[in-house]
A = this chain, B = another copy of it.
Amino acid sequence: MELVRIYESLCEPTRLRLLHVLAAGPLCVCHFQAVLREPQVKISKHLGYLRARGLVECEREGNWMIYRLPAKPSRELRSNLACLQDCVRENPVFRRDRARLAKLAPRLARTGPACCP
């Protein structure tokens, strides 16, 4: 059941944070590290997990791997991502992530989702 794969992907806080941040746009791994302040292994493993289950897509760009939400998400995935965004709106951890992401915004605007140009 696809739904179960989705819920399995959602039942870990780091992955929720990754998906929440991704909702704002594509991002490379080192930016995730900067935003979540979690070790590289952890970020990379969880992104790999999400990718294996089709919750994110990725593409290499030079040294960097750019992750994004799926271009054509299933109805189930769309509903659940929307529900997630709604649920975490007022959660301090997620707000903090958004705030850190916002500080990167000017750089992202210049260089695109990859880290350092």
Contacts and interface: CB of A to CB of B under 8 A. Distances in A.
Contact of A11 (B7, B83, B86, B87): B7
A11 B80 CA distance: 13
Contact of A79 (B1, B76, B86): B86
- How would you classify the secondary structure of chain A's contact residues: helix, strand, loop or mixed? helix
A65 to B, nearest CB: 25
Interface residues of A, number: 21
A80 B87 contact: yes
A83 B7 CA distance: 12
Nearest to A79: B83
Contact of A80 (B12, B13, B75, B83): B83
A3 B76 contact: no
A108 interface: no
